[in-house]
Amino acid sequence: MNVYFKEYFDFKTFLTVLALVVIGLISVYSATHAAGASVNFHRQIIWAAMGFLGMALVLFVPRRLLQDAALPLYILSLLTLVFVLGKGRTIAGSTSWIGLGVIGGQPSELVKLTTVLALAAYLSKPTTETESTKGLITTSVLLMLPVILVILQPDAGTALVFCAMFPAILYWAGASVFTALALVSPFAVAAAALVSTTGFIIAVVAVLVLLLILRRDFFTSTVVFSTSVTIGIAAQYLYSRLPLYQQKRIATFLAPDMDPLGAGYNALQAKVAIGSGGLFGRGFLQGTQTQLRFIPAQWTDFIFCVPGEEFGFIGAIVVLGLFTFLLLRGVRIASIVKNRFSSLTAIGITSIFGIHVIVNIGMSLGLMPVIGIPLPFLSYGGSSIITSLVMVGILLNCYSARKEY
């Protein structure tokens, strides 16, 4: 048994995740404690337990079955997204939640996983040529369907996760950096153009510099560049032609946590919370920023502030270290598994975790704009923690079958 476990079960990943979940529960307890929302803590325990159960289940699903089920699961999850748009409940301006009696959830969390599985399944087919026109169009369609659906909710953060995961998985599948860039740059430039003209200029310059570094042929580079610029200008032009209320809606979409107390209030309070933690932190349940609810969304999107404030630099570094180790471990698993589908699934899952971590912690540290996506394993929320743990289960599954072709 022991030998079997060592061989087939990746303790390193599992223990890292376990540690993160425990820290997450402590943080949710602290964040909800003074706010009189301890019921959330109890729910989170149940969800974590459900997540571990899900992890255990997917651990034993044969890889073959997973690969075959990828497309049907993808389509099913897209249908739930459509259903959400029609019947879902609106929370904080986004219609992303469906309730099925006592069980409810945000399908968009799950769609991240099914999209990764679908992309991995397609890209691992022997007939697929990643960089062919057909390959790029198919993968783009597989990506854009869920992206359009979450944008309609509207949920900018999740759409961003999809878009950022895409070039990573394509690159892993064998596409060149240039291809990845060519696919992403129009969206990046358009988004930047909607934020501000300065953002637009910076994005255009960045694309230009990258193209020069990559030294592709002049024609292709020019096409990529001019497409990006055209789309960027068009986006800005269309934006300016929209009625004011729609402009406002887009602005809110791009900066969803914009606060009436003034721009940057949330980001500032988060920085204050983390900064006031110092080396050892202010002590469990002693952080005034957390306990007195100065941090917005403190048990969801800004959960990183809680260990940052109450356990200080040491606590924050531990969390950061655990995530870094998990991500490195994910890449390692992706690179050692022999099966291409498993490898692509592993890198897709790792990329999703990576984007969440970079955007979420970056936001709490004031290095990223305020974009509302949860921190895996730590943030309060059933869909997030269950999906995350199930994804870890698939990662562990890939590891245990790493020697199978």
Partner 1 sequence: MTEESQLVTRSKAFYITIGGVALVFALRLVQLQLLSEARYGKKAEENSIRAVVREPIRGCMFDRNGKLMVDSRASYTVTITPSEFKESALPLLSSILRLDTATIRERIRRGRQYSIFAPARIRRDAEFRTLALIEENRDRLPGVSYQVETRRSYRTPARASHLFGYAREISDRQLAEAGEYYKPGDLIGAAGLEAKYESALRGEKGFEYQLVNAVGQIVGPYNEGRSDIPPKEGYDIYLSLDAGLQEFAETLMADKRGAIVALDPRNGEVLAIVSKPDYDLANFSGVTPPEIWDSLNAHPEKPLFNRATMTRYPPGSTFKMVLATAALQEKIIDTNWRITCHAYFRFGNRTFKCHTQKGHGSVNVVEAIEKSCNVFFYNLMLKTGLTFWSKYGALYGFGSPTGIDIGEETAGLLPSEEYFDKVYGKGKWTRGYLVSLAIGQGEVGASPLQMASYAMVIANKGTVYQPHVVRAIYNKRVGKTDTLLHRSRTLPVSPEVWDVVRQGMVLVVNGTGGTGRSARVPGIEIAGKTGTAQNPHGKDHAWFIGFAPFEDPRIAVCILVENAGFGGTQAAPLAGKLIEKYLKGESEPGKPPRQKLEASETSSAPLSSVRSTLR
Judged by the rule CB under 8 A, the positions of this chain that interact with partner 1 are 34, 168, 171-172, 174, 269, 271-279, 288-289, 292-294, 308-309, 312-313, 316-317, 320-321, 323-324, 327-328, 331-332, 334-335, 347, 350, 354, 358, 361-362, 365-367
d(CA 20, CA 354): 14
- Return the number of the residue (227 or 276) whose C-beta is nearest partner 1: 276
In angstroms, give the least distance from the CB of 208 to partner 1: 21
- Return the number of the residue (74 or 294) whose C-beta is nearest partner 1: 294
What pairs with residue 99 in β-bridges? 104
In angstroms, give the least distance from the CB of 178 to partner 1: 14
In angstroms, give the least distance from the CB of 64 to partner 1: 22
Using CA atoms, how far residue 371 sits from 144, 156, 255, 402, in Å, is 20, 8, 7, 35
d(CA 28, CA 42): 10
- Return the number of the residue (13 or 153) whose C-beta is nearest partner 1: 13
Residues in the chain: 405
Contact 364, 295 (CB under 8 A): no
- Return the number of the residue (235 or 361) whose C-beta is nearest partner 1: 361
- Return the number of the residue (110 or 116) whose C-beta is nearest partner 1: 116
In angstroms, give the least distance from the CB of 395 to partner 1: 14
Instruction: Render the burial of 185-216: b for 16+ CB within 10 Å, e for the rest.
Output: bbbbbbbbbbbeeebbeebbebbeebbeebeb
d(CA 241, CA 125): 45
For the beta carbon of residue 99, count every other beta carbon within 10 angstroms.
11
Which stretches of 94-176 are DSSP H helices?
A: 107-123, 133-152, 156-173
Backbone angles phi, psi at 137, to 5 degrees: -65, -45
In angstroms, give the least distance from the CB of 56 to partner 1: 27
d(CA 20, CA 323): 8
- Return the number of the residue (73 or 334) whose C-beta is nearest partner 1: 334
In angstroms, give the least distance from the CB of 125 to partner 1: 16
In angstroms, give the least distance from the CB of 314 to partner 1: 9
Token couple for 90: 């609106």
Backbone angles phi, psi at 99, to 5 degrees: -115, 135
d(CA 192, CA 233): 10
- Return the number of the residue (253 or 284) whose C-beta is nearest partner 1: 284
